Structure formats: structure tokens, C-alpha cells
Structure 1
């Protein structure tokens, strides 16, 4: 049964769809996939083309429309929008330590292995046919959503009117090692930019690391905050809206305690909000798997890091923060991940991941594709993205340094330009 609500600027209607967990074996059981249909007021019954939004991640639920934000306001001018919670996220059947608790690790890993882009695309096709019948729709893929869009083009292009990708063109053939070997230098460059803006934070960050090494400091959930977990706060550096957040945490890091300087509750609460995977366990569990095609990741980010001594904490005068990297020790230190440690190890060792991209089909593609490639993107490599765009027929790239990875959410001009590119107006 659908639920409808209104708020200024939009009308929303909720949908729940039942789909097979394993599309190749429907008898294996079903899960739910949730989507929220959004339209501008007064256009509830209008015959508008549909646009389905695929969120970044992996493991991110779709936007919750609290207002007609930058991209959504622009999309609602001429589309009916579906905000799709990808399987395992949000109001779709969730996957995490609680819901998977009754399964042995092997079964957990099998279930989690069904939550990649190939299954997300097959869900989307079920949803499209139930809502639109034979009509194609537009896909807007943000970050990992762009990865899914290219899988969509590879497996079900007949369902697509056009494709729009923002900061999400992956390597089509590279190993996860290639991804992280390119990512560490980009992350180091973001550290340089951060400390150029806030030079006094060099000393404060070093003090925090030294304090954590010498004291048992606990986060709100009760686990210890270690130096290496603090170091992961650089994940924010790739977004214009979050680049300065670390500075505002550090400026309130220390307070006077009974035995000397102590880390403040304000600081610890802010750190926990960034480093905890309680709200997005799939981000940690599947992050390296999204690059795997007949290969195992074998904790790629952890292994490749050994090539970049700039991120060593011991004795370094400057703390260089890491970015979008997942490490095996996350599953020892984060309470949301600890119960899934064995499943994570099985996923890291898995070698028979199916292919996500059909290079021949992409080379013959006839669906218009417009992609923005952010020149200084910390999360997705520019050169790898451009190489992939060149392998997709009818794909055009807009390269810009005006925006960071969150450009879609900061300016309606990003979506407006992509739509214009596919119309031939830009």
C-alpha cells in the first residue's frame, strides 16, 4: 500500500517492491526494495518522463527530500523522480550485523555478494517495468550510482532513455589495486590543501594522535578511539561541503581535565559521527568488491598503503589523513562491523565475482550518456574515468574543477548541464 505526503515544493509517494534475492534463482527467497516517487506540486497526474536516482556508496540510501535541493529541484522541472533505496540500504530489506546475525559467515558472505551493481540493476528493471511498463527511463548516478549506470548500460540498455553520471565513472577493467594506487596520491594532495588552509592544525592533529596512543579514550558507543581510526577522518576532504569539518572538530579537541589535557565530548561525538559504520555497514563490507571482476581484492587498500610511507603515523611530523580506504582492522574496532569480520574476510578472498561491464556492448552503445568528471576528485580517478568514457559509444565527458565530488548537491547547474549535453545544447 502506497503512502503519499506533501511538503513545500514536492509531492512524494512511497512504493515497496518484492524482488528475488538472487535473480538467477528466484526460489532462493525474496527481499523488499523501496522507492520514493517525487513530483512537483500540480504535476501529480502529468505525463512526465521518469528519472531514477542511484545514490553513491556502496551502501548509501537514497536522498530523503527535506526540500527541493540543488539537483532535485532541477530534476522536478521536467521529470517524475524515483529515489531508489538500493538493496540492503534504507527502507529496502537492510543488511547489517543485526539482520545477518542468524546466519553463519559463509551465508552472510553469500547474501552480501548479492548486493552489488549487477543485482541493483536487475532490481531497477523490475521496478521500471512495474511502474512504466515498456517505457525507458533516465538514470542519474551519483558516484557509485554511476558505476551502477554503466552496469545498466552493459546489461539492460533497452530500459534506458539516457544516462547522467556525476563523479562516478569507474575503471572498466582495472583491479582494485590500480584504484587505490591512484587514490593515495590524490588523498595526499587533499591533505596538502587542507594544511595549507589550516597550518595550525598540523600541531593539533599530531597532539591528538599522541594523546590517543598514550590514553584509553572511548567513543560514545564504548569502543576505544585509536590513532589509526582518527586518521580516517580524511574521508571528508573530497566534498566541498565537508572539507572544513575536520578543522572545526580539531579547534575544540582539547579541554582541561583533572589530570591534564583531555579530548572533549564535543570532539568525540563529532569523530564518532564520521568514523562509525553503524549507518552504512555495506560501505565497509563491499567497497573493494565493487571493483572486482573475476578477481579477489585481498584487502587492496591495506596492501597498497605499504607503498605510501607518507601515511605512516609513527614519528611523522604531520598526520596525513586517509580517504576512501577500507582496512581489515575496521572489523576489529567498529562495533557495527565486528560481528561481520569473518564474512568480510570471505568477501576479500572471493575470486569468482561476475563481470560488471560488457565492453563490446558499451562500445556499441546507442543510449546518450553525459558524465561530469571532477578534475580534482579525491574519490574517483580522473584519468581512469576519461579512459572509460572513451570506451562507451555516445558518451560525452564534461571535465571541471569548479566542483568537488558533491557538486550535484551543491549546484543545480551540474544536472542542468548534463541534461543540456544529452540534448545537444552544451
Structure 2
């Protein structure tokens, strides 16, 4: 059953689809996908081309907009938009500690989750495109991991695309996860240095909090065990347009005076648990490194192993001296599955995925070199989440792709920039600029 309803300036329609769990076994098990169709109120009865939005992540459902927020208003001037909850997220067969036990053992859960990468998401898009558009090709907008999916789309089903737009999401075509993180840690260090240059008072604040955590066993109200390493992972904020400011305000309210001395404030603990918990997006933690798997090499907790090559990120060593504490960024570590109650039951499943050696290639360099789909990509200068050099190498490998390299935005430019980013990229796909 389809249900339509209104928000300011838009008409929304809930859409549901049935697709194979394994597209190579089309008569086997199926899963249910959800997407929200959005159209401008004054165009609700008009025929328009379609744009499908692929969210960043992996593991996040599509944006829940109210009205025409961020880039959506620009898109609705000429498209019907399909906001797809990618498989495993939102209302699309959600994968979490509550649902995954339905699959059986940890090994069966890990096997199931191998079907939740970019290749399966793109085949979902192709399956539902025929139902949504009647077979006509559509435009895809891929943000971050959604851009990884878009490059897979160009590799495997370009006939389904009228145009492709990527924001902060051109992946390396052949890098192993180790290569990704070796490039990432120096980038993260630069972001932390820039934060401390802006807010020098945060150097002492961060050291004091980490010292407290090394000396005390702190468990947040939701059961999350807050260690010094977990505190460092708040650096993930530094990749967003307002992230440095958010981190600063968080640190300044960390301690409160009590009859027993000073303690981490309730307000600090409440905000930190919301930032660190994977309860709303556990799939991100489970398959984040798997999105880089393309051959017989296991990912094997790559971010954790590579971090050992950068000892300046080690909190005890840092605090033994006088160097600033370094935060980390978009990295997943095995200790997260011990600290986070939303992940603890999934530790064995995560270990099996990290050890997996049968990952299929995600990109086809030969097909990309012969690409005929109009493509434009925003590449954010020194993007903390996606390496700029990797992105530019991939841009050169995709025939006809036009890049917009900018330091005006961080990784969330398509949101923070409102309609400007999408407008610029659509213009590039049409050779209008």
C-alpha cells in the first residue's frame, strides 16, 4: 500500500519494494526495501525525470528532510526524488543486534552481511528503477559512501543512468583498506592541529579529560564504557563544517564540581554517548572496512593495525609528555565492540567479517575508462573522510568525469552548502560551465 502525505512545499509518498537478498540467486530469499518519494507540491501532477539519492555511510538511512532542506529544494525544481534507505538501514531490512540473531550463528550473520555492500545496493537500485520509472534511466546523487556506490553503478549498470553526481565520495579503485588508513591518519592529524590552532584552550581540556579516563573506569548512562581511546574517536566531528565548533563546546562543559571533587558532568556524558553510540547505525561499524575489500586480502581491523604505525595517536604516551592529545576520525576498532552495548553482541560477527578473504571486485577500470554517462564530482580539499589524492586519481580514470575541487566546504558540503553544490554539479554534467 502506498501512502502519500504533505510537508511544507512537498508531497511525500512511502514506497516499498521486494528484492532478492542475493541478486545472483533471484529466486531465493528476498528482503524488503523502503524509499520515500518526494515531489514539489506544485509539480505533484507533472511528469518529471527521477533522481535517486544514495546516502553516505555505510549504514545510515536516507535523510529525513522536513520540506525542502539542504540540496533537496534544488533537486525538486526539476526532479522527482527517491530517498532510498539502503539495505540494512532505516526501514530497509535493518541489520542490528536485535535483528541479526534471526539469521542464526555469528558465521551466518557474517555471510548475510556480505550482501550489504555497494554492489548489492546498486543492483537494488536497478531492480526498483524499472518499477519506479517504467524502465527509463535516472540521475543518481551519491554522497560519501553513496559516491562509492555511484562508481560501482558506472562500472556495472551505466545504462540505468542519465547522469551521475558525486559529493565527497570518489573511492580509490584499487586501494586496500591499509592504504586508505595510511593516507587517513596524517590527514586526521592536520585536522586536529587546525582545531587546536582555532581553540588553543582545548589542548589542556582534552588532556585533562583523557587523564581522567585513564585513571577512572567511566561508564556512560547508556552502558557505554568511555575509555581514552573512545574519547579520542570524537575527532570524527572534525570532518564536518561545524565539527570543530561542536567539539570545542563539548570540551568546555566536560567537568563539574561535586562534593567529592570534580567529575565529568551529566551534560557532557549525555552528549558524548549520543555521539559515540552505534545504536542507530550499527551496520556502519560492521561493514565499514568491508567496503574496501576487493580481493583475497582480509581487512583484518585495518584502522587498528595501521594506527600502530602512528604512535603519536597513543594517548598514554602523549599524556606522559607534553604533546597535545590527538583525536582520531572515521575509523572502526575492535575495542568499540567491547565499549558499545549496541555492538557487544556483534563482536564475533565483526571478527568474521574482518577475517574474510573472498571479497569481489567493486569497480571495473576498463568500463570506467570507456564511460559515456555525464558525471561530475565535488572533491573537497583535504577531506578528512575520503582522501583527495585517491579521489583525483579515480576522477582521471573515469572518462568524461568533471571535478570541482574546492576548499570552501568540508565533507558535508552537499548539506552545508544548501542548493549551491548540487546546482554547480548538475551544471557541469550538462557542459553549461
TM bucket normalised to smaller: over 0.9
Task: State the shift of 1:41 in Å.
Answer: 0.7
Distance in 2 of aligned mates of 1:223 and 1:149:
35
8 Å contact from structure 1 (residues 254, 262) kept in 2: yes
**Residue number among 383, 390, 393 corresponding to 1:377 in the alignment:** 383
What is aligned with 2:402? 396
What is aligned with 2:76? 76
Q: State the secondary structure of the residue aligned to 2:402.
A: strand
Q: Does 1:357 align with 2:359?
A: no
Q: Does 1:299 align with 2:301?
A: yes
Q: State the secondary structure of the residue aligned to 1:314.
A: helix
Q: How many residues align?
A: 426
Distance in 1 of aligned mates of 2:133 and 2:224:
48
Task: State the shift of 1:135 in Å.
Answer: 0.4
Distance in 2 of aligned mates of 1:141 and 1:314:
39
What is aligned with 2:124? 123
Task: State the shift of 1:133 in Å.
Answer: 1.9
What is aligned with 2:215? 214
8 Å contact from structure 2 (residues 223, 340) kept in 1: no
How big is each residue's C-alpha offset from its partner over 1:53-104, in whole Å with a ceiling of 9 and x where there is no partner? 0000000110111131120011001111000000000011100110012310
Q: Does 1:341 align with 2:347?
A: yes
Gaps in structure 1 of 5+ consecutive residues = none
Task: State the shift of 1:213 in Å.
Answer: 1.5
What is aligned with 2:21? 21
Q: Does 1:55 align with 2:62?
A: no
Q: Does 1:153 align with 2:160?
A: no
Task: State the shift of 1:315 in Å.
Answer: 3.7
What is aligned with 2:179? 178
How big is each residue's C-alpha offset from its partner over 1:122-159, in whole Å with a ceiling of 9 and x where there is no partner? 10011100111220000000000000000011111110
Q: Does 1:420 align with 2:427?
A: yes
Task: Give runs of aligned pairs for residues 231-250 of structure 1, distance below 5 A.
Answer: 231-250=232-251
8 Å contact from structure 2 (residues 224, 277) kept in 1: no
64-73 or 380-389: which moved more?
64-73
What is aligned with 2:99? 99
What is aligned with 1:314? 316
Distance in 2 of aligned mates of 1:250 and 1:118:
40
Distance in 2 of aligned mates of 1:410 and 1:226:
31
What is aligned with 1:409? 415
Task: State the shift of 1:258 in Å.
Answer: 2.3
Q: State the secondary structure of the residue aligned to 1:293.
A: coil
Task: Give runs of aligned pairs for residues 196-207 of structure 1, distance below 5 A.
Answer: 196-207=197-208
Gaps in structure 2 of 5+ consecutive residues = none
Distance in 2 of aligned mates of 1:42 and 1:111:
43
Distance in 1 of aligned mates of 2:371 and 2:132:
25
Distance in 1 of aligned mates of 2:135 and 2:10:
26
Q: 1:183 to 1:33 in 2, by over 3 A?
A: same
Task: State the shift of 1:227 in Å.
Answer: 0.9
What is aligned with 1:275? 276
8 Å contact from structure 2 (residues 21, 29) kept in 1: yes
Q: State the secondary structure of the residue aligned to 2:214.
A: helix
Q: Which runs of 4+ in 1 moved over 6 A?
A: none
Distance in 2 of aligned mates of 1:424 and 1:290:
32
Distance in 1 of aligned mates of 2:259 and 2:111:
50
What is aligned with 1:194? 195
What is aligned with 1:108? 109
What is aligned with 1:7? 7
TM-score by length of 2: 0.97
8 Å contact from structure 1 (residues 241, 406) kept in 2: no
